[in-house]
A and B are shown apart, each in its own frame.
Chain A
Amino acid sequence: MARRVVITGVGVLAPGGLGVRDFWSLLSQGRTATRRITRFDPSPFRSQVAAEIDFVPAAHGLDPQESERMGRAAQFGVVAAREALADSGVAQTLAPQRTGVVMGTAGGAVAGLDAAYRSMSDERRLADVDPAHAPPWLYDHFVPSSFATEVAWAVGAEGPSAVIANGCTAGIDAVAHAVELIRENSADVMVAGATDAPITPVVMAAFDAVRATTTHNDEPTTASRPFDDSRDGFVLGEGAAVFVLEELHHARSRGAHVYAEVAGHASRSNAFHMTGLHPEGRELAEAVRAALHEARLDPRDLDYVNAHGSGTKLNDLHETQAYKLALGEHAHRVPVSSVKSMIGHAMGSVGAIEIAASVLAMEHHVVPPTANLHVPGPGCDLDYVPRVAREQRTDAVLTVGSGFGGFQSAMVLTRHDRSAP
């Protein structure tokens, strides 16, 4: 019999607040967490806006030694994992060898690496770095796989563990990988999600060079404008979301609260361009179709589409086109919104953060809005839930991701107790 996988714990660290409660309050009220960058002087950069987290490691019980070894992204991951574990109540019954960890990331520990590089290159003067100035944690930051290790150590997992490094679809794909591991009986419980902390000068400069980020520097709180006519690029974000995933009977037998079932997932590549998008949205549409197929849902069953909605000219059209291809007429009826309008684009981790948004939309029967949407751009003609959240029955959600490298992913979340189709 097929093993079904459900979400029983949620942990979120996102801009605008700490923890699930703050996160949902921001989204449901349609507030934005984007601002002029404070972590460094952004004035030399083309884009100077980001959605930052005001995060103090010590406030989360991380001692200085741990904090240094982990770096910001791993810290986010560990804090979100602890919240998810506490939320699920599974800790007491956890069998370490049947519990694994999958973390997603796009960029790894980029901030720590840049700091290490500076000190090892004599402030970027040396062509080859001097190993004598290597910090003791250098390798932990060099390999993003350390994110899975840190989370596993934090929750006591010894089962199958990996880091999925699929760029900006990593969050969705990491959760999907964890689901596969439970379905195939390699584990009963997986702690899975994604983390990224890309708000650093080097990442700002890299996106400046491809003109992918916004230049609405004078209006930082409304700079992220998915689907709006005035959109001109994404706003960088940061954060983590981690989930406790369980085999359904495992969850039921301990009386766990079940948020949602991960009913379907698929990923496709447009094999077209490393940074560009195929205008027809063909592969994203195919990923959506395949995810619905796995979930045994008809497009009409979807109550909400949690969009990638990055706010670049290209993406929002590509995505709109893909929904029309994959969902047909229902694309015009189902609400489609982008929480990146409020929390920015946290790279690989955003897919996990958006799964959290989707799960919470189901929990509260409230669809979060697309903030800052006043005049939809040409070709953006779906119901994007402008500015104000909407109360509505929400039992089945599609969430999607799209990233550099051409990766396109889609995941379908449903109520686990829905009647069999």
Chain B
Amino acid sequence: MSEHHFTIDDLKRILFEGAGADESAALGGDILDTDFENLGYDSLALLETGGRIEREYGITLDDEVLNDNRTPRALVEAVNDNLRRVAGG
């Protein structure tokens, strides 16, 4: 399996496609360590984002991945962990 790597830009794109962005263009700035809640993404937006990541990358994200990773940096890392496991397994 080819090496997938999930980047912050992938996450921003998927967030925008699935849940949109505010007029403040919050996604344009440095958001890596800002809580999703503060970026205006609620539980539903994260479920939509998680679903889109699963679909696009052919992986399954546990509930905990979406519940526990509250910042873009944490979620990107968690998705990459998952991708590595898929590639390795």
Contacts and interface: CB of A to CB of B under 8 A. Distances in A.
Q: Do chains A and B touch in the complex (CB under 8 A)?
A: yes
Contacts of A211: 47, 63
B63 A210 contact: no
B47 A209 contact: yes
A275 interface: yes
Nearest to B43: A276
Counting contact residues on chain A (CB < 8 A from B), the size range is under 10
Nearest to A275: B44
A346 B63 CA distance: 24
A154 interface: no
B22 interface: no
B25 to A, nearest CB: 24
B44 A273 contact: yes
B81 interface: no
Contacts of B44: 210, 273-276
Contacts of A276: 42-44
A275 B46 CA distance: 13
B49 to A, nearest CB: 11
A210 B43 CA distance: 9
Nearest to A276: B43
B51 interface: yes
A273 B47 contact: no
Interface in B1-53: 42-44, 47-48, 51
A405 to B, nearest CB: 13
A209 B61 CA distance: 12
B51 A209 contact: yes
A274 B51 CA distance: 18
Chain B interface SS verdict (over half): helix
Contacts of B51: 209
A209 B63 CA distance: 11
A273 B42 contact: yes
Nearest to A232: B63
Contacts of B47: 209-211
Interface residues of B, number: 7
A209 B52 CA distance: 10
A66 B25 CA distance: 55
Contacts of A275: 43-44
Interface string A262-273: 000000000001
A211 B44 CA distance: 10
Contacts of A209: 47-48, 51
A209 B47 CA distance: 7
Contacts of B48: 209
Contacts of B63: 211
A375 to B, nearest CB: 20
Contacts of A210: 44, 47
A275 B47 CA distance: 11
Contacts of A273: 42-44
Interface string A246-280: 00000000000000000000000000011110000
Interface string A66-91: 00000000000000000000000000
A209 B51 CA distance: 7
Contacts of A274: 44
Interface in A189-210: 209-210
Nearest to B48: A209
B89 to A, nearest CB: 20
Interface in B35-86: 42-44, 47-48, 51, 63
B78 to A, nearest CB: 16
Nearest to A210: B47
Interface string A374-416: 0000000000000000000000000000000000000000000
Interface in A150-198: none
A374 to B, nearest CB: 22
Interface in A270-319: 273-276
A68 B42 CA distance: 42
A325 B44 CA distance: 27
A202 to B, nearest CB: 15
Nearest to B50: A211
Nearest to B66: A211
16 contacts: A209-B47, A209-B48, A209-B51, A210-B44, A210-B47, A211-B47, A211-B63, A273-B42, A273-B43, A273-B44, A274-B44, A275-B43, A275-B44, A276-B42, A276-B43, A276-B44
Q: Which 7 A-B pairs have the closest CB atoms?
A: A209-B51, A210-B47, A275-B44, A276-B43, A211-B63, A211-B47, A209-B47
Given A210-B47, A273-B42, 14 more contacts: A209-B47, A209-B48, A209-B51, A210-B44, A211-B47, A211-B63, A273-B43, A273-B44, A274-B44, A275-B43, A275-B44, A276-B42, A276-B43, A276-B44
